[in-house]
Amino acid sequence: MARSAAVLVFLLLCALPCLAVTDAELYGPAGVTPQAVRQGTIGSCYFYATVASIARARPEVLRKAILRDSGGDVSVRFADGETEAVSPRDVEFARTSNYDQSDGLWVAVLLRGFAQRTLRKAMQDWVERANLGPLTGKLAAAALGNDLVLTAYDRAIRSQVDQVGGLDRQRLKARLRQELDSVPAPDSWKDSAVDDVDSSGFFDSLSEQVKANGELFGAYRAVGQGGIVGRVLLAFLGPAETRRVLNASEVLAAMDAALRRGAAVVASTGDSTWGAVATRSGSPAGPAAEQWYVARHAYSVLAVNQSKRTITLRNPWGDHPKPNGEFTIPAELFAVAYGVVDMSD
């Protein structure tokens, strides 16, 4: 993986074209609210439900996470202080591919920033685990951490990922070479960057992370929510708690306390058999499950009423139920249909 230090310095000085938008374009008429958040045609419910929950609890956090300079260029700053520049091409991709249907561009900006952060950390993890030696490791980290290279990988992965989050090595290399054509560096360096896909353990490590986060790159998978919602909460708010739903009264009290302290709360359903349980004869009273229930799906928790023992939730699709995805169910029905609740600290 030896490369010219001069080329690496040159690359590190290159700026990724960013997204210049007005307030009206960025936030839309609804602003940073749960109702503005609408999931598109990929299985990213965990991201959309979590962002909507944060918008309900801490909208100022999401506004502060989106940075704009004097020229209007946009980047995303996370809770740990790290930032990701957001390219206009990538936001346009999320919108024109129908991955994001939200009101305004702010959710798509956050989605793209989170996807790049996830990919960057996957590459950094490989460098740390690989036996590259001090100098080679530093060069590899500098190259793979460069915004232009990272974006080329991101776009190549998006074009090749299948619907279960899988990658084909040869197709990925071919598309990566195309994406690197726009990077201002010698062809020999670009060829070497493509050859890195064959470096020991790199493709396997990359594939593992893409499969685990396939929705961010365009896959549509029926995935469980274990730990994924928590990673989004961690990125934007810091540490979060994941709690299994075992008792209606216990989870009702826990969610009520969390909402009162300004926490973001997300609830996730179990597998498809839970729908049958929720609608079986003798199940707790509430709206029919077919009006609101989706298996292995994440929902924003908007409100809890302890005296009435009810919970109000929102489907990030923005419908089901119509018109806006919001519905209220008894705590007893919630405890039957939902398996996991994630709450920010």
Instruction: Please report, for the domain that includes residue 296, its CATH number.
Output: 3.90.70.10
Q: Is residue 230 part of a domain?
A: no
In this structure, the answer to whether residues 194 and 314 fall within a common structural domain is no
Quick check: helix, strand or coil at residue 335?
helix
Alpha-carbon span 158 to 169, nearest angstrom: 13
Residue 182: the pLDDT is: 82
For residue 227, being part of any structural domain is answered with no
Same domain, 212 and 268: no
Tell how far CA 282 is from the center of its chain: 38
* Residue for token pair 């299985």: 43
**76 and 111 share a domain?**
yes
> What does DSSP say about strands 338-344 and 240-244: parallel, antiparallel, or unpaired?
antiparallel
Kindly state the tokens that stand for 8.
């690496």
- 91, part of any domain: yes
- Side chain identity, residue 106: W
**22 and 143 belong to one structural domain:** yes
Q: Do 78 and 176 sit in the same domain of this protein? A: yes
**Within a domain: 228:** no
User: What pLDDT does 208 receive?
Assistant: 87
3-state secondary structure of 343: strand
Q: Is there a single domain that holds both residue 295 and residue 191?
A: no
* Residue 173: per-residue pLDDT: 93
Contact (CB, 8 A) for 340 and 244:
yes
Number of domains in the chain: 2
pLDDT for residue 193: 78
Residue 223 lies inside a defined structural domain of this protein: no
Residues 208 and 288 in one domain: no
Whether 175 and 270 share a structural domain: no
- What is the chain's mean pLDDT, rounded? 84
Q: Quick one: 51 and 183 in the same domain? A: yes
Instruction: Give the model confidence (pLDDT) of 286-305 as tens digits.
Output: 777 888 998 889 999 999 99
* CA–CA distances in Å: residue 31 to residues 68, 69, 141, 258, 266: 16, 20, 38, 24, 21
| Torsions phi, psi for 23 (to 5 deg) | -60, -45
Residue 9 has a pLDDT of: 39
Instruction: Specify whether the CB–CB gap between 237 and 54 falls below 8 A.
Output: yes
Quick one: pLDDT at residue 199?
81
Q: How many angstroms separate the CA atoms of 147 and 84, rounded? A: 8
Q: Which of 331, 275, 267, 250 is nearest to 302 (CA)?
A: 267
| Dist. CA 211–CA 166, nearest whole Å | 6
Q: Are residues 183 and 46 in the same domain?
A: yes
Q: What pLDDT, on the 0 to 100 scale, is given for residue 128?
A: 75
Alpha-carbon dihedral 27, 30, 35, 38, rounded to 10 degrees? -40
pLDDT by residue for the chain (345 residues), tens only, comes to: 344 443 443 344 344 555 567 888 899 999 999 999 999 988 889 999 999 999 999 999 999 999 988 776 889 999 999 999 998 889 998 999 899 999 999 999 999 999 999 988 888 888 777 666 555 555 566 666 678 888 888 999 988 888 888 899 999 999 999 998 888 778 887 887 788 788 878 888 888 888 888 888 877 654 454 458 999 999 999 999 999 999 999 999 999 999 999 999 999 998 766 555 555 545 566 777 888 998 889 999 999 999 999 999 999 999 999 999 999 999 999 998 999 999 999
Which of 187, 217, 247 represents a domain boundary (last residue)?
A: 217
Last residue of a domain, one of 183, 217, 251: 217
Domain that residue 279 falls in? 239-344
Task: Mark whether 264 and 176 lie in a shared domain.
Answer: no
Residue 224 lies in a domain: no
| 3-state class (DSSP) for residue 271 | coil
Same domain membership, residue 195 and residue 55 = yes
Q: Evaluate whether residue 222 is within a structural domain.
A: no
Assigned domain for 323 exists: yes
